[in-house]
Structure 1
Amino acid sequence: MLDFRTVREETAGPRWQALFGHHWPAYEQWYLSEGERERPGYLACYNALRKYMPELLDTYRMLCELAGGGDLAARFLSLYQPPPYITGCSQAVLASPASTLLARNYDYPPELCEGTILYTRWNARRVIAMSDCLWGVLDGMNDRGLAVSLAFGGSKAVGQGFGAPIILRYLLEFCDSVPEASDVLARIPTHMAYNITVADAAGRYVTAMIGPDRPASIRRVPVATNHQKKIEWYAHALASETLIRERQLSILVADEATTEDRLIAAFASPPLFRHDYRRGLGTVYTAIYRPMTGRAQFHWPGLTLELGFDHFPEERITVRYGARGLYAG
């Protein structure tokens, strides 16, 4: 069971602080799961942020203060060289002169998800995003017309760099277009392999295949699942059905007859929608972003949550996951 909550707080304050207090015990346990010595020290974390994302430092300092100013929390919030973690996920862009849509399924153990949809204005841009690690982004959009989504890249390689959620936060806080986002994705190091799909209100899109052991490959590709140019981790590829899902999405997006409704319906059905919760590869939610209009939707079977920059009701939705499916109420 997972409670999804929408939280609106344009300037970080007591509501974000309450979220930190609620989630920190679990995040602390995860952050120390390999031992504290495996995590970088505070100065290394701070200097990495200052080098690669200096515009984010004021927000980082503000959140560290709200979190109590402790050393461990500050290191965690930097998302610099966090413990490795593996997700599933499918994502696709359907673009036309009249509309741009970014759709994604997030496949992960529900019990490890935060379930918070944040509306913020920490810098110059308003942002709606599914939160991870309390300020990172799994998927989201800003009011300048940029939408982003991440998926695991299918490699066991781990190295020096940032967790992708903070990179996506940086994109939404400081980028307005796909070309700007592409420049960022080409230069910021990541600790694991990820596929980042980015779309904007002008109909542009790319998928960036990034990893700690390879230069970023940024191409005008509208779909991504859980491998990059070739299969590197065969067991995960078979379990997650990454090739099957990629083929399904590629066929849909290439078909001129595919409408937005048809694509969204495909995300609600196998093979894109997965019920493999036992192995942590079940679909937790479906997200739909329309950067031209600033509208977002979150889908579960039988339930849709409609959000936007001009319409962001604060709600709580309880979703129950199990071998026979999931139920929202």
Structure 2
Amino acid sequence: MVLGGGRRKGLNPFPRALPPAKPPDAGAPIPLTVFGIREPVPGPRWQALFTATWPGYRRWYLQRDVRPRPALTTARDRLAEHMPELVPTYRRLVDLAGEAVAAIGLPPDDVAARMLTLWDPPRFLPGCSQAVVTHPEIALCRNYDYSPALWERVVFSSAFAGRRVIGNGDCLWGLTDGMNDDGLVVSLSFGGRRGSGPGFAVSLVVRYLLEVAATTEQAREILSRMPVAMAYNLTVVDAGKNVLTAFVAPDRAPEFTESPIATNHRGEVPDSVEHAQQFASVPRRERLAELVATDPSPTDLVSAFLKPPLYSTHYWRAFGTVYTALYRPESEAMHLFWPGLSWRRSFDDPDGTCAVVLHPD
């Protein structure tokens, strides 16, 4: 399996304060292949993913940042302290990564083992809009707005500890959004506050929630004690139709609301007006509020998410909608959408691929 020859995280994976100059080929179509992987326990499929993406991830992890990357002992200790249920899977991943590093002729070191803890990673700021409805059925819809070159392009279905989990992969075993077979659905969006602190990459937090929690209340308890490296909004819904949006950040206590919507700022008022304006966070949130007030169906949600202001084509600014995801836990399926194209994946679907072409503005 080839995912793009290591084009994953670049040396500057988060948007700058001012948009960069528009490149000459900014309007060219962007063809991509999205991979669906079903592997209950990490094995050859995950190892192939690691091999294809590790050069890029290694550069990303070792890039110059505001703080140096943690020592291996520190990173492993934090994982064991806060996510002990993931430690057996982590050890399996480290073994597979070591085999892959040796096979591609790289010198052995501890970088992969450190990176895979996802403790205190480099900063990255995806966009995103997300909304939940619970009538007539539960559905969570979200847009993931980011650079196509930095998108992992993998839907991973697993059962690391017995509970089935499916979602959009990030950082090799994290998830930007996902669902488990108890009907819990979780989605993340950047929270709008710049800066970082000691904590986990939020995509691993999403993975952990789906691995160990069955209800929104259990997710809330975990988030109340989990250190997170940057500010994010996490929207959660369970099979009992309980909805939660949590604002988490490294320098403050989590804030919990029953809001079914989130974009890229905390609550109603952005902490960073500049960031909110640059990425249209307030207009997108206002559109989501209008949308959920109409009691939309899942089809209505998708239709709205595929149109402005929720849908963005500013791919050259790392703010383009690379996918729209719809989770329908009652049918145990997720769908990915692009204009004129959809792809359904369930917990037990075999490996597959989907050819996508993104069209910049």
Asked if these proteins are the same fold (TM beyond 0.5), I'd say yes
What is the deviation of 1:262? 1.2
Query: What TM-score does the superposition give when structure 2 sets the normalisation length?
Result: 0.86
User: What is the CA distance between 1:234 and its match in structure 2?
Assistant: 2.2
| Coordinate RMSD, CA, aligned | 1.5
Which residue does the alignment assign to 1:16? Answer: 46
Counterpart of 2:17?
none
Task: Give the 5 Å matches for 1:1-329.
Answer: 1-34=31-64, 38-68=68-98, 70-96=109-135, 98-229=136-267, 230-256=269-295, 258-310=296-348, 312-324=349-361
Task: For 1:298 and 1:313, locate their aligned partners in 2 and report how far apart those are by CA, in whole Å.
Answer: 16
Quote the Cα distance in structure 2 between the aligned partners of 1:293 and 1:178.
19
Letter in 1 for 2:355: T
Task: Check conservation: 1:89, 1:107, Cα contact below 8 A.
Answer: yes
Q: Distance in 2 between matches of 1:185 and 1:100?
A: 22
CA contact (8 A) 1:157 1:213 kept: no
Distance 2:67 2:308 in 1: 42
Q: Any idea what the Cα deviations from partners look like across 1:157-197, whole Å, max 9, x if unmatched?
A: 21010110000000111111111111111110111000001
- Report if the CA contact (8 A) 2:244-2:256 is conserved: yes
CA contact (8 A) 1:126 1:143 kept: yes
State the alpha-carbon separation in 1 of the partners of residues 340 and 310 from structure 2: 17
**Counterpart contact for 1:2–1:111, Cα < 8 Å:** no
Structure 1 gap segments, 5+ residues each: 325-329
Amino acid at match of 1:251: E
Structure 1 residues 187 and 298, CA, compared in 2 at 3 Å: closer, same or farther?
Answer: same
Aligned length: 321
SS in 1 for 2:248: strand
Instruction: Map Cα deviations across residues 253-292 of structure 1 (whole Å, 9 max, x no partner).
Output: 1223x22221111001000011111211010000000122
Which amino acid counterpart does residue 246 of structure 1 have in structure 2? R
C-alpha distance in structure 2 between counterparts of 1:145 and 1:122, whole Å: 17
Q: Report the alpha carbon displacement of residue 37 of structure 1 after superposing the two structures with TM.
A: 7.2
Q: Partner amino acid for 1:168?
A: V
Q: Which residue of 2 aligns with 1:327?
A: none
Residue range with higher mean Cα deviation, 69-78 or 103-112: 69-78
Percent identity at matched positions? Answer: 43
Distance 1:266 1:35, change over 3 A: closer
Aligned to 2:299, the other structure's residue is in SS state helix
TM superposition score normalised by structure 1:
0.94
Unpaired segments ≥5 residues, structure 2: 1-30, 100-108
Residues 204-250 of structure 1, C-alpha deviations (whole Å, 9 max, x = no match): 11001000111100111100000003312222211210000101101
SS in 2 for 1:184: helix
Distance 2:338 2:359 in 1: 13
Q: Compute the displacement of 1:36 (Å).
A: 11
1:306 positional shift: 1.1
Once residues 279 and 322 of structure 1 are traced to their aligned partners in structure 2, the CA distance between those partners, rounded to angstroms, is 14
Change (3 A) 1:25 1:254: same
Q: Pick closer, same or farther for the CA change 1:215–1:9 going to 2, 3 Å.
A: same
